[in-house]
A and B are shown apart, each in its own frame.
Chain A
Amino acid sequence: MVCVDWMIVFSGSDLTCRRGERLVFADLAFEAHPGDALMLRGRNGAGKSSLLRLMAGLSEPLTGTIFWQGENIRTDLPAHRARLQYLGHQDAVKPVLTVRDNLRLWASLRDVDNSDAAIDHALKALGILHLAKTSGRFLSSGQKRRTALARILIGESDLWLLDEPTVGLDRESCADLARIIDEFRAGGGIVVYSTHIDLDVAKPRSVDLDEFAMPMFDWLTTDDENHGITADTGDTRQSGANQGNAAGKTHKSRSTPSPDFTGIA
């Protein structure tokens, strides 16, 4: 039994997440072994970003626990932070600093080698070595994204949490990213990522967040939409950057099977 516990390095159970006034998902469970890639799927607003933020320890789940090697991550958050690299929606690239200087700060914060050689190694992996001396303000959005991705390569880590890593990347960079992810997994790392396009990662395990959506919520929005009441939409928008207007449209088509979900969830 002990053996099984140690194999599942990163796991979560009974996770319920609340954003603002609404429950995003409930009773969500996941597990990941060393070398695994978890692909988070789901419509806009299904809680992909929220789940990644829970995994990072940025926010606290309403119920449930996330474990790293059997220990609740919230009992020792600094240790958890030291082992993970997180890529959010924003690239955190300072316009007045060069690409290399942008990365140097993150290297010194993790207290790892911040020499030019170490940073250039990360830049090379993302194919932006030629931009090392360019200031952030002259980068395109794809180049900024690649700079942000180079950051996660700096220093040792066991867990990558990537929120929509492919946004702004061209086809070639996506292939680079998939290769980098697979190399990291080959070294025993765990990657959790959300994406809308298919990233060519070897054998990812998929977590479909729509399965854990709160049926109650679907009923409510459908009612509101039908009667033209917009009181609830304010809350919906507030609850996450990844909830565009498209969320409303997907709701309608998705909400029909929701009574069946009550049985499953």
Chain B
Amino acid sequence: MKILIAILARDLRLALRQGADSIMVVAFFIVTTTLFPFGVGPEANILARIASGVIWVSALLAAMLSLERVFQTDFEDGTLELLSLSPVPLELVVLGKVLAHWLTTGLPLIIAAPLMAVMLNMNSAGFGTLMLAMLVGTPALSLIGAIGAALILGARRGGVLVSLLVLPLYIPVLIFGAGAVEAALLGLPAGEHIQIMGAILLLTLALAPLAAARALRLAVE
């Protein structure tokens, strides 16, 4: 636990010192969401209809944008090699880094999401569910993304590759995330959707660190 905190603290410090990453992710999220009114026209009803889907798709793309950097810099400067040689299990290292990734990208997205919902004329009845769904969904995005980020190490044009690897795996989160908000907007209970997202989160929490750690070992071998 102490070690997890040490890794988390270090990654957060690195992210804060380098700064731009978090802001870029949120800016990307806002810009993408803003494109939709221009594309589909400013008809308020249509925007309200597609709001939850648009917000979720933009959030997926924004979360994916920052994935490449999760392990890349550590891989390039030799830190990863040393991390894999430290007595600490690599799975724990992965978990710490994923947590840091979520705090610096997932959390800002959750905070920005209601603002975008207002812009897209979403009924305020859905706001609470949207934030709850994102709170459960975005950690799963970071976890799944870590597998992709670990697999692309050493590959050229990794950024494109990671999107091809990871986006298909994001589909379940997208379906149930958007579904939960839709249900809330129609006045139906959204609990089942959230529960399934919770199940996805638990599954990825158990499996993603194992898979990513294995991929990292292959990368440094």
Partner of A92, one of B10, B14, B78: B78
**B10 cross-chain contacts in A, Cβ below 8 A:** 105
- Flag if A90 contacts B81 (CB, 8 Å): yes
Chain B contacts with A in 2-25, Cβ cutoff 8 A: 2-3, 6-7, 10, 13-14, 17-18
User: Which A residue sits closest to B19, measured CB to CB?
Assistant: A96
Stretch at the interface among A107-115, A203-211, A221-229, A247-255: A107-115
Interface size on B, residues (CB 8 A): 24
Q: Main SS of chain B's interface residues?
A: helix
Cβ of B43 within 8 Å of any chain A Cβ, yes or no, is no
Give the distance to chain B from A134, nearest Cβ to Cβ, in Å: 14
> Which residue of A58, A97, A105 is within 8 Å of B85 (Cβ)?
A58
Q: Return the chain B residue nearest A136 by Cβ.
A: B77
Q: Which residues of B contact A92 (CB under 8 A)?
A: 77-79, 81-82
Q: Does A56 contact B (CB under 8 A)?
A: yes
B65: min CB distance to chain A, Å: 21
- The CA of A3 and the CA of B221, in the complex, are separated in Å by 35
- CB <8 Å contact, B78 and A78: no
Answer yes or no: A59 CB below 8 A from chain B CBs. Answer: yes
A74 at the B interface (CB under 8 A)? no
The answer to whether A89 and B85 touch (CB under 8 A), given A96-B17, A97-B17, is no
Instruction: Report, as a range, how many residues of chain A touch the other chain.
Output: 20 to 34
The 3 closest A-B pairs by CB, nearest first: A90-B78, A108-B6, A82-B87
Sample (27) of A-B pairs whose CB atoms are under 8 Å apart: A56-B85, A57-B85, A58-B81, A58-B84, A58-B221, A78-B89, A81-B86, A81-B87, A84-B85, A86-B82, A88-B81, A88-B82, A89-B78, A90-B78, A91-B77, A92-B77, A94-B77, A96-B14, A96-B17, A105-B7, A108-B2, A108-B3, A109-B87, A111-B2, A111-B3, A111-B87, A151-B82
Which residues on A are within 8 Å of B, measured CB to CB? Answer: 56-60, 78-79, 81-82, 84, 86, 88-94, 96-97, 101, 105-106, 108-111, 151
What residues make up the interface of B, taking CB atoms closer than 8 Å to A?
2-3, 6-7, 10, 13-14, 17-18, 76-79, 81-89, 220-221
Known contacts A86-B81, A94-B77; 19 further A-B pairs (Cβ under 8 A): A56-B85, A57-B85, A58-B84, A78-B89, A81-B85, A81-B86, A82-B87, A90-B78, A91-B78, A92-B77, A92-B82, A96-B14, A97-B14, A101-B13, A105-B6, A105-B7, A109-B6, A109-B87, A109-B88
